[in-house]
Amino acid sequence: MIKVGIVGGTGYTGVELLRLLARHPEVEVDAITSRSEAGLGVAELYPNLRGHYDELRFSEPDPERLARCDAVFFATPHGVAHALAGDLLERGTRVIDLSADFRLRDAGVWADWYGQPHGAPGLLEEAVYGLPEVSRDQIRQARLIAVPGCYPTAVQLGFLPLLEAGLIDADHLIADCKSGVTGAGRGAKVPSLLAEASESMKAYGASGHRHLPEIRQGLGDAAGGEVGLTFVPHLTPMIRGIHATLYGRLTGEPGDLQRLFEDRFANEPFVDVMPAGSHPETRSVKGANLCRIAVHRPGNSDTVVVLAVIDNLVKGASGQAIHALNLMFGFDETAGLDAPAMMP
């Protein structure tokens, strides 16, 4: 049994960590921080957790208490983990960061996209990008994990088999993605209001989104060089979910694409390659740490279309963070993550 802390426990990814860890047989949540809700019981703010965390209360961030944990999750806005991660690592506590603080290897690129200097550039070389389907062995040895973003998770998993096999033109990739409103966080924002987001869909960040350099970095690793990517995210009127429709141009006869995907993910517990001709739905992964994928070749043309769906709060955030924790501490990879999706 290990003890973990959660910094920033009142947001959507924080409460999702609590929900999933409530079923984890090897983990005890020892500390959860929130400056705004310090002193409030977790079950008071989130009544769905009554009976699981009745004694746990939000507290001010206390480095001494957090350092007594075996691992600390940061479910915080960017920039917060910069200030605390180094101290925790020096004290022997492992860090799993759900923000974007350590995802990009280049501190200058990070500063360009996030509008401020990187606060801990000395840790970037040590940080391991926590996509288990790519970096499983590195995650097992890591002290600092950068949990991938939600869009980057769906897009990378969808393109991965094609790029690794060199079957598509890496200079002309297209990712057309849709997200539920929880992707914008729990903070009050006018575009997230029911009257603003309901019965409507819109694109945003078409000329440049913060996840773009992260996706390019991961796809470039798979392709063995830089990639050209057009990435357009959309806000859709649903609470949670990511749907990524991915387009690539085949560079030759690809053979059996269905078999390619099935073989690549055959041993991955959290990637489900659907039967040929399938169209995965976001509701089929709601609440589950799972990416469902289908591959199509319309009209037997030179275009391949990949459909990938995830829950942005689970496989796109908190579930993936717990998967990394399981690998780091030698637990069963599926511990705390084996619940099926919720339908309807």
Low-confidence residues of the chain: pLDDT under 70: none
Given 69, 150, 177, 291, which residue is catalytic?
A: 150
Q: What share of the chain is helix, strand, coil (3-state, %, to 5)?
A: 35, 20, 45
The amino acid occupying position 232 is V
Farthest-apart Cα atoms in the chain, separation: 62
| Bond from prior residue into 269 cis (ω within 30 degrees of 0) | no
For the question of residue 150 being annotated catalytic, the response is yes
Residue 277 region, left (φ>0) first, then alpha (ψ -120 to 50), else beta? left
The predicted-structure confidence for 249-266, as pLDDT tens digits, reads as follows: 999 999 999 999 999 999
Domains of the chain by start residue, with CATH: 2-126 (3.40.50.720), 150-311 (3.30.360.10)
The predicted-structure confidence for 17-52, as pLDDT tens digits, reads as follows: 999 999 999 999 999 999 889 999 999 999 999 999
**What's the pLDDT at 344?**
87
**What's the pLDDT at 123?**
98
Report the predicted TM-score, pTM, of the whole model to 2 decimal places: 0.96
**What's the pLDDT at 116?**
95
Choose among 78, 97, 75: nearest CA to 88: 97
